Amino acid sequence: MTSFLLSRCMDPEISALMSVYQKRLNDMTAQAIAFEARIAVLTATLQQIQQQTPQAPVAEAPVAKKRGRKTAETTDAGSF
């Protein structure tokens, strides 16, 4: 059977399911293409900005000193 005959003889639920899958696939493909185009534009912009700005050495962040845990002081009442 050809695909035309299959689509005419198909169960309505299967036909609806395939229609939804096809729509979602088209939507996701269009979204992926738009994201890829946006990434290309942002990458080109970033490269242009990096070329215009002289690269200064990056200062290292100060290392925080670790504080020791204070032990709780106990008060001894003496001997029993």
- Cβ contact 22:14 at 8 Å: no
Specify the higher pLDDT residue, 36 or 75. Answer: 36
pLDDT tens digits along 9-45 = 679 999 999 999 999 999 999 999 999 999 999 999 9
Residue 1: per-residue pLDDT? 43
Q: Give me the residue spans of the domains in the chain.
A: 12-52
pLDDT tens digits along 40-64 = 999 999 999 999 977 666 678 777 7
Residue 35: per-residue pLDDT? 98
Contacts of 10 (CB under 8 A, 6+ apart): 18
